[in-house]
Amino acid sequence: MFKNITVKNKISKLDLSNTGAFNVYSSDSANGGIIGKCNNAEFKISNDNPKFVIFGDHTRALNIAKTDFSVTDNVKVLKPIIYSTNALLYIFAVWKKAIPNLGYARHWKVANAVILKLPTYENGEIAFEFMEKYILNLKNQSAKFITMSKQI
């Protein structure tokens, strides 16, 4: 589902700023994994790579990077085989549930070996369209619920 990309230049937390041009991801689960900014992006978003997946090795956090970025230590950068945000969110839910919480230990060896049970069509192909529609339906139901809650 993902190709592991080698990280050559990891950003130190000491080199972070609030005014840089590019997001810096860490293994933190808060704020979508973004912990600051930097002035040099190691990873560039392009037509060939419109999104990357960031895996927090200590936290099992999974985030989607849609703009140029860099990373700190304890992060895996993955190139997905599909770029649908909703399908990726579906896969994240299945994947994270399959990775046992090992505390602060590294999770990548376990996460990398997990066999994901994803929906398929009768011909055996992965049903990415189903995943897309499923998550979109959940989002729509959630938005309706929030709207109804505000009216009460």
Residue 13 pLDDT > 90: no
76-115, pLDDT tens digit by residue? 999 999 999 999 999 999 999 999 988 888 899 999 999 9
- What is the domain partition of the chain in residue ranges? 2-151
**What is the DSSP track for 114-141?**
------B-TTS-B-HHHHHHHHHHHHHH
Q: Which CATH superfamily is domain 2-151 in?
A: DNA methylase specificity domains (3.90.220.20)
Predicted confidence at residue 142, as pLDDT, reads: 79
Phi, psi of 31, rounded to the nearest 5 degrees: 55, 35
Helix intervals (H) in 29-125: 85-98, 108-113
For 41-53, what is each residue's pLDDT tens digit?
A: 999 999 989 999 9
CA atoms within 13 A on the CB side of 52: 26
How far, in Å, CA of 39 to CA of 19, rounded? 8
